[in-house]
Amino acid sequence: MTLDRRDFLKYSALAVAVTSGMPGFLARAAAQAGGTKTLVVIQLTGGNDGLNTLIPYSNGAYYAARPNIAIPKKDVLTLTPDLGMHPSLKPLMGLWDAGHLAWMENVGYPNPNRSHFASMAIWHTADPTQAQAEGWIGRIAEKIGDPFCASNIGGTTPQALRAADFSLPSIDGVDNFQVKLPAGLDGAFQTMLNTSRTGEAAYLQRATRQMLTNTQKVQQNVSKYRPGAKYPEGQFAAQLQDAARLIAAGTGQRVLYVSLGGFDTHAGQRAEQDELLGHLASGLAAFQADLEAQGLADRVVVMGFSEFGRRVAENASAGTDHGKGSVMFAFGKGVKGGIHGDSPDLEDLSDGDIKYRQDFRGVYAAALTRWLNLDARGILGGDFGGPAWLG
Amino acid sequence: MSLQPHTRKLTPEDAAHFLRRTAFGATDAQIRALVGRDAREVAREALSFGMDLAPGNPFDPTQGTRPGAAAQLARGAWLYEMLYGPHPLRERLALTWSNHFVIGTDKVKNAPMLTGYLALLRRHAATTDFAAFALDVARHPAMLRYLDNDQNRKGKPNENFSRELLELFTTGLGTPAQPNYTEQDVHEGARALTGWTYEGGRGNKNFLEEPRFVSRPNLHDTGSKTYLGQSGNLSGEDIVRIAATRPQTAAFVSRKLHRAFVADTPDEGAVAASAETWRRTNGNVRAVLEELLSSEVFYTRRAAIIRSPVEFVVGAVRTLGQPRLDAKQMLNLVQTASKMGQLLLQPDTVKGWDGGREWINDSALLTRMQLAAALTLGAKAPTLEKPPTALALLGTERSPLQAALDGLNPKQRTYLTLISPEFQLA
C-alpha cells in the first residue's frame, strides 16, 4: 500500500495519539467524524454453508446434490417462490416481514481460496491478493483518527481490526473491562509505565496505555444501560448484549465485531449447522428487540459474513467440504430488505462449487459510504459496486 | 545469515535468557547454575530429556464423569507437568507442537485420545525424524477424529485432513504467485488417505474407552494418484512422507520453531539456515533445535517474544520458585489462561494461535494484571521463601524498573514487575 502525504500525516498523528494521548486537532477530527450510526459485523467462522442457509427450494439440482443434508421443502421458511430460510432462522422472520432483512446472494472474490485462513484473511483485509496485514476496520480507525472507533467483542482481536501498528480493542465482557489497581500502587504503576522502552516492550507499553483509556471510557458510560429484551443463554448472545450495552452507553464506537464459530461442517452437518443457526438467529433477534426497546434501532445496522460457502454436493460423511462463494445477510431499520443478486446456477459449477457473481467489497462499500459516511475507496483501495442493500 | 554458534561462556544474563525461552523462566539459583557453561553443551543437555513425569500429579482424566470434565482434567494434568515437571523444555516443545499439529477438545472428547495424543507430542518433542512424527500424528485417533479422516473412504473422499496436512502441517500454502501445492494435490491426497480410521471410543458414552487406529483395505482407493509430482498407487503412508519431506516443509516448520524460540518476527536468513540443517539431516528436529538454541541469533534477540498466556502463567510460577498450589488453584490457572486467549488442547482453529502481538488486547492485559495480583498480593497468594530477583524476573541484573519499585514492599515489587512489559516478554 502506498501512503499519500495526507495519509502519512494522519498516520503519524495517530501514532502520537496512541503513545501520548490524543492531540487536540485529532480529537476534533474524531469528534467530527464520530456520527451516531453503528455497524455491527457478525463473523460466522469456519465456512457457513450458504445453500443450507438461504435455500433454493424450487431447484431440483439442490436436492439431487444433497440427498441426506438438504433442507426438505416442507421445513423451509418461504421468502420468495424460489428461496427460503433454514428453519432455525425462524426468529428472524419478523425482520423479513417488516422489510428489514436483506440477503446478498452469491458473494465471493476473484480466485477463491479454499483455505479457511487465507480466505478469512482476504475478508478481513478486503484484499484478495493477501498483500496487506491491516484489516479493513483497522483502516477505518486510521481514517477517522480514533483508536477507539471500533471494538471486537470477545477474547481475541480478529485481523479485520488490526491497524498499522496497533490492534483495536477487544472487550471480553463489559463488566470485567476495568482496571482495579491494588491500593497504594497508583504512583508506582504510573512510574513503571512511563519508563522509556523500545521494540516489543514499547508495543506492550502503548497497548497498556490504550487499555487504560478505553476501560475508563467504557466504565464512565456503561451504567446507563437497562436491558430491553431477554437474551438466550450462551456466549454469542452475551456478546451481542455487550454490543447493545456499548451502543446504549454511547461509548462512540462506529463498528462492533462479534464472532460465532463452529461452521466447519465436514461431517454430520445437519446437527451442527442447525444448532449454530439457531444460536445465531435467537441471539440476533434478541439484540434487535433490545435496540428497538431502547429507541436505538434507527442507529444500528448488522452485516454478517463467512469466509466461504461449502461445496454444492454433500460428501460421504453427511457433511460438506470447503467451497467458494456464499450468502451474506444484513438487517436493521436502514436496510432495504429482500434478496439482492441472482441465485447461483447449480448446474454450472466451477470445480464443484458455485461461481461467485458479487464481490464482497461491493457489499462493504455500501456499508462504508451509505451507513458510516466514509470514503470507501480510500479504505478498500478501489471502487466497488454492489447491491443497494441500504436505503 | 547463517547460525553462528554462540562461543562465549554463559553470563548470568545469557543463562536467564536461555531459561526464559526453554524453561518458561527460572529462579535465581537455577540461573546461576548455568553461568560459565558452554552454550552448545547447555542446549544439548536441555534437549536430552527423558519421558518421566512429575510425581504426585493430582489430575487424572480417566476420573472425569463426563467428556468435558475429562478434558478439563487433561488440561490440569498438563499444566501441572509444566509447572512442576522435571523437563520444562519437553513441555514447552509439546506446547509448540500442539499449536502445529492442532487438535481440539471441541471434537476430540475421548479421554484416552487426549492423553495419548499428548504423550505422542512429548515422545516426538525433539524428534530426530519429522516424517515419522507426522505419520504418527496422521494415524492417531485424535487427529483422525479432529480432521474427519476417520470418515474418508473410497469414492467419497473427505478432504479435511488432506488439505490441512499440506496447508498447516507440512509445506504451507506458499504464495499466490508460487503455491506449494494445488487443489488437485488435496484431492489426490485425500484419495490416498481413504480407509484410515479408528475403532472404539466413539460417542459421548464411550469417552473413557481406548480407541485404536485401523486401516480398512476395503475402504481404501487403490487407484493410481499423482501427489506433489509423484505418481503411483500411493498409500496414506506415502502421502504423509512425501509432504513431510518436501523442501518447503523444512522452511515452513523451521519458521515456526524460530517463532517459538527466537522471535515473533524471525530473521528470514536464520530461518533459511535452520531449513538447510533440516534438509541436510533429513528432518532431524533435535539437531535443528540444538544448533538454534546455541546460536548467536538465539542469544542476541532478547525480549523478542511476547509470552503466551500459558507461558505467562507457568513463567510466573516457576520464577516465584514453584510454590505449591492446590488443585483448584491450578484449574483456575487453566481457566485464566483461557480467558487470556489460550485454552490448552483447544486452539481457536486448526491453524493454531498466531501468537505474538495477537496475544495482546485490552481484556488479556487486564487478566494478566488480575493474575499477577492473585499470585502476589491476594488473600490466597502462595507464600514465597524469598522474593525473586531482578535477574529471575526480568533477565537483567539491574532492574530497569528500579525507579518505580523504590519504597515498595517485596510483594508489591513482585506484582508490579509481573505486570511490566519486560516480564511479559521472553
Q: Do B363 and A185 touch (CB under 8 A)?
A: no
pLDDT at position A35: 67
Nearest by CB: A200 against B303, B403, B415: B303
Nearest by CB: B404 against A178, A195, A316: A195
Burial of B63 (0-12, 13-18, 19+ CB in 10 A): exposed
- Rounded to the nearest integer, the mean pLDDT of chain A is 89
pLDDT at position A142: 86
- Residues A272 and A266: beta-carbon distance below 8 Å: no
Q: What is residue A82's three-state secondary structure? A: coil
Nearest by CB: A182 against B340, B363, B377: B377
pLDDT at position B1: 55
What domains, with CATH codes, occur in chain A?
Answer: 37-173+233-380 (3.40.720)
Distance of CA B378 to the CA centre of its chain: 30
Helix or strand (DSSP H, E) at B371: helix B362-376
pLDDT at position A21: 37
Q: What is residue B334's three-state secondary structure? A: helix
| Residues of chain B found within 8 Å of residue A199, distances taken between Cβ atoms | 303-304
Q: Is residue A29 over pLDDT 90?
A: no
Dihedral sign for Cα atoms in the order A112, A118, A124, A125: negative
H-helix segments, A103-234: 116-125, 136-144, 186-194, 199-221
pTM as predicted: 0.84
Give dist(CA B344, CA B284) in Å, integer: 27
Q: Do A182 and B412 touch (CB under 8 A)?
A: yes
Mean pLDDT by 10 residues, chain B (426 residues): 91 98 98 98 98 97 95 98 98 98 96 98 98 98 97 94 98 94 97 98 95 98 97 98 98 98 97 98 98 98 98 98 95 95 94 93 93 94 90 95 95 97 98
Nearest residue on chain A to B349, judged by CA atoms? Answer: A46
Phi-psi domain of B198 (left: phi exceeds 0; alpha: psi -120 through 50; beta: other): beta
| Residues of chain A found within 8 Å of residue B158, distances taken between Cβ atoms | 266-267, 315-317, 319, 321
What ipTM was reported for this prediction? 0.95
What average pLDDT does range A187-191 have in this prediction?
A: 97
Cβ-Cβ pairs closer than 8 A, A with B, add up to: 161
Give dist(CA A277, CA A283) in Å, integer: 10
- Residue B146 has phi, psi (to 5 degrees) of -60, -40
Using one digit for the tens of pLDDT, what is the confidence trace for B40-79?
999 999 999 999 999 999 999 999 999 999 999 999 999 9
Give dist(CA B365, CA B360) in Å, integer: 7
First to last CA, chain A: 32
Q: Do B349 and A315 touch (CB under 8 A)?
A: no
Q: Do B365 and A215 touch (CB under 8 A)?
A: no
Provide, rounded to the nearest whole percent, the portion of chain A with pLDDT above 90: 76
| Residues of chain A found within 8 Å of residue B106, distances taken between Cβ atoms | 262
Give dist(CA A71, CA B61) in Å, integer: 39
pLDDT at position A25: 36
The amino acid present at B155, given as its one-letter code, is G
- Residue A119 has phi, psi (to 5 degrees) of -65, -45
Looking at chain B, how many residues does it have?
A: 426
| Residues of chain B found within 8 Å of residue A115, distances taken between Cβ atoms | 163, 167, 173
Q: Is A219 on the interface with B (CB under 8 A)?
A: no
Q: Is A20 on the interface with B (CB under 8 A)?
A: no
Residue of B179, B178, B140, B177 whose CA lies nearest to B163: B179
| Residues of chain B found within 8 Å of residue A180, distances taken between Cβ atoms | 370
What average pLDDT does range A150-172 have in this prediction?
A: 87
pLDDT at position A55: 98
Q: Do A157 and B361 touch (CB under 8 A)?
A: yes
Using one digit for the tens of pLDDT, what is the confidence trace for A134-145?
999 999 988 888
* A positions 258-297 inside 8 Å of B (CB): 261-262, 264, 266-267
CA distance B317 to chain A (A): 20
At A222, the pLDDT band (50, 70, 90 cuts) reads confident
Residue of B319, B309, B325 whose CA lies nearest to B424: B309
pLDDT at position B203: 92
Sheet holding A77-78, edge to edge: A54-55, A84-85, A77-78
Pairing of strands A38-44, A300-306: parallel
Nearest residue on chain B to A202, judged by CA atoms? Answer: B421
- Grid cell, residue B183, equals 487443489
Give dist(CA A227, CA A250) in Å, integer: 15
Question: Which H, E and C letters describe B225-250, residue by residue?
Answer: EEECCEEECCCHHHHHHHHHCCHHHH
Looking at chain A, how many residues does it have?
A: 391
**Residue in this structure with the C-alpha cell 491497524, named with its chain if needed:** A163
Q: Is residue A167 over pLDDT 90?
A: no
Using one digit for the tens of pLDDT, what is the confidence trace for A34-68?
568 999 999 999 999 999 999 999 999 999 999 99
Residue of B147, B146, B119, B113 whose CA lies nearest to B133: B119
Provide the 8-state DSSP code for A330.
Answer: E
CA distance B150 to chain A (A): 10
Nearest residue on chain A to B425, judged by CA atoms? Answer: A201
Q: Is A198 on the interface with B (CB under 8 A)?
A: no
pLDDT at position A166: 72
Residue of A95, A66, A69, A96 whose CA lies nearest to A84: A96
| Residues of chain A found within 8 Å of residue B221, distances taken between Cβ atoms | none
| Residues of chain B found within 8 Å of residue A201, distances taken between Cβ atoms | 303, 421-422, 425
Residues 6+ apart with CB under 8 A from A138: A160, A161, A162, A163, A164, A167, A168
Going from N- to C-terminal start, the domains of chain B cover 61-244, 309-424
Nearest by CB: A316 against B156, B340, B425: B156
pLDDT at position A26: 39
- Grid cell, residue A17, equals 495519539
Give dist(CA B399, CA B380) in Å, integer: 27
